[in-house]
Amino acid sequence: MDTIKSQQVTFKVFRFNEETDYLPYYNTYVMDVTHEEVVLDILNRIKWDHDGSLSYRRSCRHGICGVCSIKVNGKGILACKSRLFDLIDVFGSELVIEPLSTKRAIKDLIIDKKDFWDKHAAVKPFLVSDIVEHPASEHLVSPHDAEKLLEADYCIQCGACHYSCPALAINEEFIGPAAFAAAYRFSADVRDEASVERLHVVNEEAQGVWDCVKCMECAEVCPKEVNPIEKITKLHNMIFEAGVAKNNVATRHAVGFAHSIEKHGLLDEGELVRYSEGNIGVLKHVPVALKMFAKGKIVLPWNMPKADKLDEIKKLIKSSSTVKF
Amino acid sequence: MEKLRYALFTGCTAKESTPEQMMSTLAVANKLGIELVELTEASCCGASHLQDYDDFLSLVLNARNIAYAEKHGLTMVTICNTCQLNTAMTKHRLDHNAELKAKVNAKLAEVGLEYKGTSLITHFLYAIIDDFGLDKIKEMVVKPLSQFNIAPFYGCHNIRPSELQNETHKSHESAYAPTSLDDLIIACGGVNVDYEEKNKCCGFHAELQAPRTAAILTGNAVAGAMDANADWMVTPCPLCHLKLDTQTHHASVAIGREVSLPVLHMQQMVGLALGCTPDELGLKHHVTKVDFV
Ligand code: SF4
Ligand code: SF4
Ligand code: FES
């Protein structure tokens, strides 16, 4: 017979009631947990056995409604899906339980997700299509076309990626990974007719895909393996393919790589900055460039290194390029 | 132990804005008796930006780089987190998608190459830890860094997505509680300091497009290390290095606090502990002065 393994864990639980508290505080509970328990079991035990006022969201208990997402030691998780023993493996036996965003806490682990839903709505997260009320046949989507959605439609809107995204934490206009994944989901659907409209939304400076810092946090945190950054890359590609890319620092920065590689095989770092920023914009980088130059960190054009077999690289760029800018 | 041999993918920065990265890699490899065969034919990995513009082209170019490592029959070793990610991601996609692999190989055939999928891809940090071994490093330390509090800065593209990285090389580390750099600091005799930003983003990839976001991330990282009482920082990524070393003025303005710390490449730290000279390690190439050696 299997013996049930158990371990003592110290839980520090974030507490805050926006109606009565000025500042949040933490309650500490030392509890024995067994290897089959998930975080939600612990929250339930705290509520039922220790403090009935502890508030958190839960519903499906099957990892499909997305409401139970919180953070444990900074890692976004679904409370009903995350096994305690897996967390102990990574973090040891002291676990800090917090809402996804302490800034947005209303009561304990419950946050106000309005910004999340507003941004979600902004990308039209639904199929836009003229429906024939009485179609002669089914509107079939081929398996190949369905595959193009990748895993984008697995999103359960838990918000774990949204509230883990560092770009969003700094720039509140940024649409964020979950809504981008939704934008991709519908724009990549062969039946959809609002693709270009959505691409314009995600192409705007500050709010759009260009402000992503590429930290891969959204790919790491997502409990449903949606891989939002992959969809963000796809949106970048679609922006170029659909010809809606504007001629600005962000797009030139991407295109500049192709030019540079074609010329040298490698990246001409100095030229990339000039190409991206333009002749005037580049001036703001001069102070740093001078400091780097003094330390032997700038390669002058006539010393620019080149990859061997450059002819091979040029040939491949010519034959494999799929987009024009 | 059999002599370790790798195909070295230098990436672009080691040839340009971080010459000290190249110097210290070669100096450390030399000390450890690791042979590096430089892939002089390799092109830029696209640094995650070419991928935004032309995904297929970036796949072809990265597959070409790996094909050269395969020709040597060697594991490819990278010295840049972003090169590591883009190359590992290319390998993953081609190894899991026969149709895509065939399409890419049709292009490579035009220049007489083929991507087979036979070479592993690892970062020099993990080559040192997994293949060479921390215990052996410990034995070789001649100048322990015991008087220093050292702040590890992991850099996103070595640790996330962890599933990809863990399938590419042998180290299995958590993106939320990574240990490799901490372990290496300890092996070099230093004191590793813990701080919240150690596994966060430096902002490098958005520096031109979203300068405010990038500067705040840089500032937060250096401030976090300073508040943890670090004497200096260490990173396996030349791009993080550039951001943390050269952009402290913008970062200080952005977060409203003067921040600055010497930032060493992982190889420079190991080199110091192994007794390499500051000149061999290129310490004079730093913008934020390295004033403790
Ligand atoms: S990769 Fe981009 S969208 Fe995803 S968490 Fe990082 S900054 Fe946010
Ligand atoms: S993409 Fe993943 S992490 Fe983000 S909201 Fe959807 S399910 Fe949650
Ligand atoms: S309760 Fe529904 S996802 Fe956890």
Q: Which ligand is nearest to the CA of A66?
A: 3
Say if residues B144 and B188 touch (Cβ distance below 8 Å): yes
**pLDDT at site A2:** 60
Whether B2 has a pLDDT exceeding 90, the answer reads no
**pLDDT at site A1:** 52
pLDDT tens by residue, B57-95: 999 999 999 999 999 999 999 999 999 999 999 999 999
Q: What percent of chain B has pLDDT over 70?
A: 100
**pLDDT at site A250:** 94
pLDDT level of residue B171 (50, 70, 90 thresholds) = confident
**Nearest CA among B83, B85, B3, B82 for reference residue B36:** B3
Cβ of A59 below 6 Å from ligand 3: yes
Q: What separation in Å is there between the alpha carbon of A165 and the centre of ligand 2?
A: 11
- Residue holding tokens 């009320």? A133
Write the DSSP symbol of residue A47.
I
A254–B52 C-beta distance less than 8 A: yes
Query: Rounded to two decimals, what is the model's pTM?
Result: 0.96
Instruction: Report the C-alpha gap between A69 and A56 in whole angstroms.
Output: 9
| A299 contact partners, CB below 8 Å, separation of at least 6 | A269, A270, A305, B15, B16, B17
pLDDT tens by residue, B112-141: 999 999 999 999 999 999 999 999 999 999
A287–B46 C-beta distance less than 8 A: no
**Phi, psi (rounded to 5 degrees) for B183:** -60, -40
Q: How would DSSP label each residue in A184-233? A: HHHHT-TT-S-HHHHHHHHHSTTTSGGG-----HHHHH-TT---HHHHHH
Chain A residues 247-306 with CB within 8 Å of chain B: 249-251, 253-258, 260-261, 265-267, 269, 273, 276-277, 287-288, 291-292, 295-299, 305
Q: What percent of chain A has pLDDT over 90?
A: 94
Say if residues A97 and A38 touch (Cβ distance below 8 Å): no
- Picking from A217, A292, A320, the nearest residue to B246 by CB comes out as A292
Neighboring chain A residues of B286 at a CB cutoff of 8 Å: 295
Chain A residues 143-202 with CB within 8 Å of chain B: 166-167, 170-171
Residue B16 CA: distances (Å) to CA of A305, B266, B288: 8, 18, 18
B56–A322 C-beta distance less than 8 A: yes
Nearest CA owner, ligand 3 atom 3:
A63
Q: 10 Å Cβ neighbour count for A48?
A: 10
**Phi, psi (rounded to 5 degrees) for B280:** -60, -30
Averaged pLDDT for residues A198-217: 97
Ligand 2 pocket residues where CB is under 6 Å: A 155-161, 177-178, 181, 221-222, 224, 226, 228
Q: 10 Å Cβ neighbour count for B102?
A: 10
Is A17 strand, coil or helix? strand
pLDDT level of residue A132 (50, 70, 90 thresholds) = confident
Residues comprising chain B, all counted: 293
Whether B165 has a pLDDT exceeding 90, the answer reads no
Instruction: Report the C-alpha gap between B211 and B258 in whole angstroms.
Output: 18
Residue A225, exposed/middle/buried by CB under 10 A (0-12, 13-18, 19+)?
exposed
pLDDT tens by residue, B175-189: 999 999 999 999 999
Whether B262 has a pLDDT exceeding 80, the answer reads yes
A276–B49 C-beta distance less than 8 A: no
Instruction: Report the C-alpha gap between B263 and B286 in whole angstroms.
Output: 8
Q: Which ligand is nearest to the CA of A221?
A: 2
Using a CB–CB cutoff of 8 Å, tell me whether B54 touches chain A.
yes
> Which one of A224, A232, A295 would you mutate to disrupt binding with B, by most B Cβ within 10 Å of its Cβ?
A295
B36: left (phi over 0), alpha (psi -120 to 50) or beta: beta
**Mean pLDDT taken over chain A:** 96
| Ligand 1 atom showing the smallest separation from residue A177 Cα | 3
Q: What percent of chain B has pLDDT over 90?
A: 95
Q: What separation in Å is there between the alpha carbon of A159 and the centre of ligand 2?
A: 6
Q: Beta strand A69-72 with A94-98: parallel, antiparallel or unpaired? A: antiparallel
Structure tokens at A291: 């400091």
- Picking from B46, B110, B287, the nearest residue to A291 by CB comes out as B287
Using a CB–CB cutoff of 8 Å, tell me whether A44 touches chain B.
no
C-alpha angle B16/B203/B212, rounded to 5°? 115
Q: Count of alpha carbons within 13 Å of B183, Cβ hemisphere only?
A: 16
**Phi, psi (rounded to 5 degrees) for A10:** -95, 120
Say if residues B134 and B187 touch (Cβ distance below 8 Å): yes
Give chain B's largest Cα–Cα span.
56
Buried b (16+ CB within 10 A) or exposed e, A186-197: bbbbeebebbee
What distance in Å separates residue B140's CA from the closest CA in chain A?
30
Nearest CA owner, ligand 3 atom 1:
A61
Residue B103 CA: distances (Å) to CA of A265, A295, B87, B99, B108: 22, 44, 17, 6, 9
**Mean pLDDT taken over chain B:** 97
Whether B170 has a pLDDT exceeding 80, the answer reads no
- Picking from A167, A295, A299, the nearest residue to B285 by CB comes out as A295
Averaged pLDDT for residues B248-258: 97
Three-state DSSP string of chain B: CCCCEEEEECCCHHHCCCHHHHHHHHHHHHHHCCEEEECCCCCCCCCCCHHHHCHHHHHHHHHHHHHHHHHHCCEEEECCHHHHHHHHHHHHHHHCCHHHHHHHHHHHHCCCCCCCCCCCEEEHHHHHHHHHHHHHHHHHCCCCCCCCEEEECCCHHHHCCHHHHHHHCCCCCCCCCCCHHHHHHHHCCCEECCCHHHHCCCCHHHCCCCHHHHHHHHHHHHHHHHHCCCCEEEECCHHHHHHHHHCHHHHHHHHCCCCCCCEEEHHHHHHHHHCCCCCCCCHHHCCCCCCCC
Task: Quote ipTM for the complex.
Answer: 0.96
- Picking from B41, B50, B210, the nearest residue to A258 by CB comes out as B50
Averaged pLDDT for residues B193-210: 97
Q: What separation in Å is there between the alpha carbon of B252 and the centre of ligand 2?
A: 33
pLDDT level of residue B216 (50, 70, 90 thresholds) = very high
Q: What percent of chain A has pLDDT over 70?
A: 99
| Closest alpha carbon within chain A to B216 | A170
> Which one of B208, B245, B289 would you mutate to disrupt binding with A, by most A Cβ within 10 Å of its Cβ?
B208
**pLDDT at site B252:** 98
pLDDT level of residue B169 (50, 70, 90 thresholds) = confident
- Picking from A73, A288, A320, the nearest residue to B176 by CB comes out as A73
